[in-house]
Structure 1
Amino acid sequence: MPGTNPNREDHHQDHMTIAGIGAVTGYGWGREVLWQGLLSGKSAATLQPGYGTGRDEQAWVSLIPDGGDPLVSTSIYGRALQESAREAIADASARGWRPGRTVGVLHAIVLGDVGNWRDFYLLDHGHRRSRDYLRLLPSTPISVLQQEFGFHGPAMNVSAACSSANVALITAKLWLRSGIADDVICVATDMSATPEMLEHFVRLGAAVGDAEPLAACRPFQEGSRGFSMGEASVAFVLSRSVERPYAAVLGGGMTNDAYHVVSVDPGHTKIFDCARLALDDAAIAPADVRYFNAHGTGTQQCDVAERDLLARMFHDRPHVYSVKPLAGHCQGAAAGVEVAAAALGYDRGIVPAAPIIAPAYERLLDGPMPFEGGITVKLSLGMGGNNSMVVLAPAD
């Protein structure tokens, strides 16, 4: 149960810190499983039957395996959300975090429990017991989480397409800065990698399912065809007070292209503005950035936009990496996976980059590398023109 911690000021941080991490991904249940999967240099994707263009065809997708606490929910979506949050809270507690009086909850969500909604309509024809219907509502998983831990702070869903997890982190920082909450549990969950969703992303020219991800998804490399779809639920405990934080979140910025529902504005003006806002909020200069944790979908328009930003704002100085070839593009939870990878890297002294398999941008890291320290920027670009960037740094 949360309560006042008399030693909070003794461990006060100037910036919001990541106090705990929990993860459920295509690699399995737990942040250590995610970490070892990233270090393996192998994709989490497997061939899934029924995902191809024909009924019996297969496609490469990174799906969360069955698991979790059946007492929490009959839906794997609800179980993954709860388990990632439980793991993050236990992790933060082991690192010296003690909840303040007001603990808020933010959930980054785009389409919600897609598979469960599909079954609701197609199998149950819209008729279920009320308690089973209520599990479909976005407010329910957050309520279950708050009830388990007795958190009475503000609770809110955040949605900004594939930029949602970054936006939730920025919102958490605003809550801490304004005093709305003493601590924030931030969860990003997306389990929308269904056959129907994959079909449409393939038709849009963004996703690839007919080839192993490392062969198809090559951000900043020749021959890249797009991203492989993935699923994840990633949770963070965010606080100003913890003895052994993973990393600090110095600042963040958000803009919108107001250009197209899918395509990136070819002028990239608002992506540049987003980066400037984030750097200004963090009170750092482009030259201070050591690592660029890319959106890195492997699509042509994304590669062009990020290369333009790297060249004209950062003068091709930062090391660059993307984990989407490994964990998949987890849509609304994508930035959650990628921030978790960066934060774990700060703690363990390794950058978990994907291996290079084709001629590549000269600053792209080739597989796991020793972490040199310094500042990381994490860019996310979402459909609908949603741009966001967060700035990470060593906690000390």
Structure 2
Amino acid sequence: MKRVVVTGVGLVTPLCVGRERTWSRLLAGETGLGRIRGFDASRLPSRVAAEVPKADEIGVGEDRGLAEDELFHAGEVLGTTVEEARKTPNFISYALAAAREALADANWEPRTEEQCQSSGVSIGVGMTSLAYVVDAAKQIDSSPAGYRRVSPYFIPRALPNLAAGHVSIKHKLQGPSLCPTTACAAGAHAIGDGIRMIQTGSAKVMVVGGSEAAIDELGVVGFSRLRALSSSFNDDPQKASRPFDVRRDGFVMGEGSGVMVLEELEHAKKRSARVYAEVAGIGMSSDAHHITSPVPDGSGALRAMRIALENANCQASDIGYINAHATSTPLGDRAENSAIQQLFPQTTLVSSTKGAIGHLLGAAGAVEAAFTILAISNGVVPPTVNLEEPDEEFLMDYVAHKSRPTIVQHAMSNSFGFGGTNVSLLFRQFVR
């Protein structure tokens, strides 16, 4: 199998737009959580979300201490007029912005026919924006000929694979184009697919990640009806996402995108590319248990982590840091923690960055994999924000509140999704 390395990272998150500023705010223990701005959520049980700070949301820059260039500008990203930008859903715009940053960071823009044909894209999306579906249904019901009022852009807006499609078109990536839609594991699966494309020789470069923008009224209602969202911290929204904490009561919906550039090692070396980390292993499994709830003992997650270790030829004691999936739900955090404690020594550092950015659904695995890579590259582990009192059976070091400078040679990122799908990605320091 060919060796695969990470040479570029791009991020659009609730903390801000851009890799460096997102990372610095994450390490500082800041959060991107707040009251829902996109619609009136006053009648809903959960009124908190982690939204990407946008230039057209009055006050959001000042509220979060962000400069103008750290806000999201759809027109700037798309290179279009404001009217054209409105025709492009945010999950596509976020992916384009993150991909642009990742490719610039990697200093890779294919130009020759061979470069274009050997560069592919894999961007996972958990669910499309339901607001477009609701709006189209209203138009159909508005009159006998209401179907004529449905936008001709409805299907291109709704198809999840159009994030990968737009990135492919924008950057002339003519290799494989993929889009896993495996719920909250989609971004991690997309990275895994990209790794396999390079390892098997189907591509030399893969632009991989995840994107999501599903914070709309129906999306929040749907997760609320599942009793999956936090509803106890509406008056203190920055405290609502609290992985591993005894007072956790559900996750906080987030949005954004994480994209990285993967390269076959020899390809990266030939062009003297800077390397963040090397891919060490991948583990995948299925709970085969329940459509929304994990196996209580975490056995599905445990298998994925074990497979990743075997794939990387690593021991559990080699892993210095785990970026946990931990979404701040009572059952999910307990199941994953049980799996981690069965496999790893208590000295292994574990944190969940969802305390700072909420749960980005299909983008979560990609953004968190990027954080894991940055932890290896920068020698510092990001904190678990809002962890005030762990459950009594939670015995790991969860890096509460403050980031931890430490040399990380091997690190793992976990992602789990509805339907019982599990992915563990393992990265290591790059050694030539």
Same fold by TM-score, threshold 0.5 exceeded? yes
Q: CA deviation at 1:129?
A: 4.9
**Corresponding residue number in structure 1 for 2:417:** 382
Match of 2:224 among 199, 202, 206: 202
Q: CA deviation at 1:384?
A: 0.7
User: Structure 2 stretches of 5 or more lacking a match?
Assistant: 55-72, 141-145
Contact 1:38 1:354 in 2 (8 A): no
The CA distance in 2 between the partners of 1:53 and 1:202, in whole Å, is 13
Q: CA deviation at 1:149?
A: 1.7
Q: CA deviation at 1:278?
A: 0.9
**Corresponding residue number in structure 2 for 1:234:** 258
The CA distance in 1 between the partners of 2:382 and 2:350, in whole Å, is 11
Contact 1:47 1:58 in 2 (8 A): no
Q: CA deviation at 1:184?
A: 0.6
Match of 2:137 among 109, 118, 121: 121
Please state if 1:151 is matched with 2:151: no
**Percent identity between the two aligned chains:** 25
Deviation digits for residues 185-206 of structure 1 (CA, Å, limit 9, x no counterpart): 1130111122222223233232
**Corresponding residue number in structure 1 for 2:15:** 27
Q: CA deviation at 1:32?
A: 2.3
Q: 1:322 to 1:51 in 2, by over 3 A?
A: farther
Q: CA deviation at 1:123?
A: 5.2
Please state if 1:92 is matched with 2:126: no
Mean Cα deviation higher: 335-344 or 383-392: 335-344
Match of 2:347, SS state, is coil
**Corresponding residue number in structure 1 for 2:94:** 80
The aligned runs of 1:48-87 (5 Å cut-off) are: 48=36, 50=39, 52=41, 54=43, 59-66=47-54, 67-69=73-75, 70=78, 71=80, 73=85, 74-75=87-88, 76-87=90-101
Deviation digits for residues 173-223 of structure 1 (CA, Å, limit 9, x no counterpart): 111111111111113011112222222323323211451455333222222
The CA distance in 2 between the partners of 1:265 and 1:250, in whole Å, is 27
The CA distance in 2 between the partners of 1:113 and 1:217, in whole Å, is 22
Q: Whose strand proportion is higher, 1 or 2?
A: 1
Match of 1:158, SS state, is coil
Contact 1:319 1:364 in 2 (8 A): yes
Q: CA deviation at 1:356?
A: 5.0
Contact 2:297 2:338 in 1 (8 A): no
**Corresponding residue number in structure 2 for 1:5:** none
The CA distance in 2 between the partners of 1:362 and 1:157, in whole Å, is 35
Match of 2:279, SS state, is strand
Contact 2:223 2:229 in 1 (8 A): yes
Deviation digits for residues 48-77 of structure 1 (CA, Å, limit 9, x no counterpart): 25454617x982211123322352743233
The aligned runs of 1:312-351 (5 Å cut-off) are: 312-351=342-381
Q: CA deviation at 1:14?
A: 5.8
Q: 1:213 to 1:258 in 2, by over 3 A?
A: farther
TM-score (norm 2): 0.81
**Corresponding residue number in structure 1 for 2:330:** 300
Match of 2:321, SS state, is strand
TM-score (norm 1): 0.88
Contact 2:382 2:399 in 1 (8 A): no
The CA distance in 1 between the partners of 2:238 and 2:330, in whole Å, is 16
Mean Cα deviation higher: 126-135 or 300-309: 126-135
**Corresponding residue number in structure 1 for 2:64:** none
User: Structure 1 stretches of 5 or more lacking a match?
Assistant: 1-12
Deviation digits for residues 196-252 of structure 1 (CA, Å, limit 9, x no counterpart): 222232332321145145533322222221211100111111112432111112111
**Corresponding residue number in structure 1 for 2:68:** none
Q: 1:60 to 1:139 in 2, by over 3 A?
A: closer
Match of 2:47, SS state, is strand
Match of 2:382 among 343, 352, 377: 352
The CA distance in 2 between the partners of 1:341 and 1:315, in whole Å, is 22
**Corresponding residue number in structure 1 for 2:202:** 180
**Corresponding residue number in structure 1 for 2:399:** 365
The CA distance in 1 between the partners of 2:304 and 2:384, in whole Å, is 26
**Corresponding residue number in structure 1 for 2:30:** 42
Q: CA deviation at 1:263?
A: 0.8
Give the alignment's Cα RMSD to 1 decimal.
Answer: 2.6
The CA distance in 2 between the partners of 1:152 and 1:393, in whole Å, is 29
Mean Cα deviation higher: 318-327 or 136-145: 136-145
Provide the aligned length of Structure 1 versus Structure 2.
Answer: 383
Match of 1:185, SS state, is strand
The CA distance in 2 between the partners of 1:138 and 1:206, in whole Å, is 23
Q: 1:167 to 1:139 in 2, by over 3 A?
A: closer
Mean Cα deviation higher: 120-129 or 217-226: 120-129
Match of 1:274 among 304, 319, 327: 304
Contact 1:112 1:190 in 2 (8 A): yes
The CA distance in 2 between the partners of 1:142 and 1:63, in whole Å, is 22
Match of 2:5 among 11, 17, 22: 17
